[in-house]
Structure 1
Amino acid sequence: MAGMAGGQGEGSGRINTPAEGALRAVRSLVEQEQTDQATQLYEELGAVQRERLRREAAQRPVKERRGLVEVLRRARDFLGAARLMDGDGEDATVADLYAQSGQYLEAAEAYLRAGEAERAAAAFERAGALERALDVYRNLGARESMAQCLVRLGRPFEAAELYRQLGQAHAEVEALGGVKPEDSRYVEAVLRISTLLDSEGFTHRALAVLADALSSSEEARAEPGLVTEKARLLRRMGMEAEAEAMLLRRSVGAAAPAANGYRFLKAIPIFGELSLEDMKDLYRLARQVIIAPGAVLLEKGTPGTGLFVLMDGSVDVYSGPEDDARHLNTLGPGQYLGEISLVQDAPVSAQVRARTQVRALRISRSDFEHYLDTHEAAALRIYRLFTQNLAGRVRALST
């Protein structure tokens, strides 16, 4: 009969229930384990009615709440479901529901209660609660994640010290690059950057950093340490004193050598829409690796482990690991391997072996997953571009 709780309008597929009986009808359908009908009716309720139902359900025994929680989950009211379950001892499930609803601070607290500290820290980061995230990472001893938080908190020297301990010179340079000229330790930062860049073979870039620092203020130009360092680098390059001014003018405008890896990483299509800050955060995740001639970078058929960006040297790509495998390609500086494994769980499709000694940037899959968890806007852009590129490949194969 029309108007009865649970009744169906002919051909409409809708449950025709008077508003005053809707709450009772949902509860009744839940008790009868008619979850699909209860979900449909819950979705058709107004916001005020749904809130009232959740409020009343919160006062009921756990067993009764469980049925309604399943209804809310199917209706994609993840926040309502999380709040109904909160306090029932299923903190990991509650945390996932809070995360699905975008309530990352509540998710983080629930993950902590569930003993999932690493996921809690990532949720704190995503919520912008960087100090809380830093505390959790510190307790975990996760120094790389601590350094990322410190950079985002505007504490570059502390971040740089951690990167120094980790032996990640390029990340230390990026962290110290955030020190402003008005900072009392600015000269110290510039000198450290210069030393690191020069030791990595980027003397021109070190000179550019020094030139920029010397032009930033009268105080910087008066610093003997900066002048001494500039002179050291010029002597190292075998340049005459009278060429100093020209060299500095050129180095001020010179781009950083592509071989530092940043520009290569930035050029990868799936990173093409990342903001400067997100791109810098991603670059700090990368680690420089040296691969001996003949060593295997990627083994066909094994799970993908992450991205390699070649900076120096070359690699050979073969159809398989066999001695008589077909040679498919040779790749060199600026080219990359394994980017699909960052966003898709699939086996490696070819055998890749170092032809010469190779210097590369490597981003592991686990580090990249953490990056996606803590950089929501970047994750959306990366997945969109990955999907577009994949669709383009499919179209190319089908034409």
Structure 2
Amino acid sequence: MSGSGSEVVEGNGEKAGAEGTLQALQALMGLESAATAARLYEELSAAQRERLLRDAALAPSRERQQLSEVLSWARDFAGAARLLQGCGEDSRMAALYVQGGQYVDAAEAFLRAGEPERAAAAFERGGALERALEVYRGLGSREQVAHCLVRLGRPHEGALLYRELGQPHAEVEALGCVPAGDARHIESVLRMCMLLDAEGFTRRALALLADTLRASETARGDPALAAEKARLLRRMGMDAEAEAVIARLPAQSSAPEANGYNYLKAIPIFGELSLEDMKDLYRVARQVLIPAGAVMLEKGAAGVGLFVLLEGTVDVYTGTEDDARRLNTLGPGAYLGEISLVQDAPVSARVKARTSVRALRITRAGFQHYLDTHEGAALRIFRLFTQNLAARVRALST
């Protein structure tokens, strides 16, 4: 019991001491001795200062503003900011929080003061990146949004924004943050190579490709990366080395296989491609085997690219339901998903393999890189795509 009593007495004594110090500070402020008051505050322990701040928070606004000046003299900037809560001095409070290194508190004060630009910067500086991203988006500050996305571990989204902003250097830096295990890593490497080459850094692009191919078995088997390496080698006048790269590709990519190449060439949107452009497009394609019963395309899902049937048959259904109506059965030479190459739209029907199927596949990422590096071909493809789409619309309206 005596021990508890002593703790109570001691606690009451500390509280009384804090109240006495607060009164002493207020008296010194009344005498316009702010520097002396600041020295008195500096001599307090951390616990005493905290108790004094809690007690001072109950004082009238005018007294808290005066005491805040004293704490600023003593360089307790965060404490000085706390005393301004509810005093209508949010800008001053925010500045004090910045001086005290409490950036998130500063950001909230900047928001209350109607200064969102400074709030966003303070959130970012304080590591509250999601809050910073939210404010930057509200401001329409797209460059800062992209920067936050990269810092948040979402570099591909940041790179897309930098691309829209026409900042290739920043886009390359963002794409370089896409990790090797990410599904968009190869797409990112291809885009980086194109950008570096366009800026005159072809050797750097080749070095990036070499590192990527060396580090990943998946990358070594990707025909789009091999085709890009060959293109860059040709750009540097190394035609023999480029041909050697092409020769090491699987048979269907190194030379046109009669059916696959001819089937691809027969697709209307590729009808005006030159021989070399057509060969380069064929090199981007990869043969895939699809077991009987597998769903190749799902209605409503995002498009995954183009399939050209080489062997086997597929059924096309109106939807995913068990009683969905079968629209068609397609075989060798038929193609699926070409619209998804040039337009981000959901799949319009379900496609299921009736037998085992061998097909050529061109992914959206591989095709996008092809368009980026074959400007003339891209113009022809988009023109024919537009014409074919217009013809379909006319057919539906008659």
> What residue number does 2:81 align with?
82
Q: Percent identity?
A: 66
Distance 1:33 1:158 in 2: 57
Aligned to 2:215, the other structure's residue is in SS state coil
Q: 1:199 to 1:44 in 2, by over 3 A?
A: same
Letter in 2 for 1:182: G
Q: 1:194 to 1:19 in 2, by over 3 A?
A: closer
> What residue number does 1:251 align with?
none
Considering only CA atoms, is the larger Rg found in Structure 1 or Structure 2?
Answer: 2
Distance 2:18 2:182 in 1: 64
> How far apart are residue 242 of structure 1 and its match?
4.7
Letter in 1 for 2:101: G
Does the Cα contact within 8 Å between 2:206 and 2:229 map onto a contact in 1? yes
> What residue number does 1:172 align with?
171
> What residue number does 1:113 align with?
112
Q: How does 1:300-311 map to 2 (within 5 A)?
A: none
Q: 1:62 to 1:244 in 2, by over 3 A?
A: same
Q: Give structure 2 stretches of 5+ with no counterpart.
A: 1-16, 246-398
> What residue number does 1:142 align with?
141
Does the Cα contact within 8 Å between 1:23 and 1:49 map onto a contact in 2? no
Does the Cα contact within 8 Å between 1:82 and 1:98 map onto a contact in 2? yes
Matched, 1:131 2:130: yes
Distance 2:241 2:166 in 1: 37
Distance 2:183 2:135 in 1: 30
> How far apart are residue 244 of structure 1 and its match?
7.4
> What residue number does 1:56 align with?
55
Letter in 2 for 1:57: A
Q: 1:92 to 1:19 in 2, by over 3 A?
A: closer
Q: 1:146 to 1:20 in 2, by over 3 A?
A: closer
Distance 1:156 1:21 in 2: 56
Q: How does 1:289-308 map to 2 (within 5 A)?
A: none
Letter in 2 for 1:135: E
1:250-290 CA-to-partner distances (Å, cap 9, x unmatched) read xxxxxxxxxxxxxxxxxxxxxxxxxxxxxxxxxxxxxxxxx
Letter in 2 for 1:44: E
How many residues matched? 229
Distance 1:82 1:20 in 2: 20
Aligned to 2:179, the other structure's residue is in SS state coil
Distance 1:128 1:217 in 2: 33
Distance 2:64 2:52 in 1: 11
Matched, 1:97 2:96: yes
Distance 1:69 1:221 in 2: 65
Distance 1:185 1:167 in 2: 21
TM-score (norm 2): 0.55
Q: 1:52 to 1:240 in 2, by over 3 A?
A: closer
Q: Give structure 1 stretches of 5+ with no counterpart.
A: 1-17, 247-399
Does the Cα contact within 8 Å between 2:64 and 2:83 map onto a contact in 1? yes
Aligned to 1:24, the other structure's residue is in SS state helix
TM-score (norm 1): 0.54
Letter in 1 for 2:215: S
Distance 1:159 1:78 in 2: 36
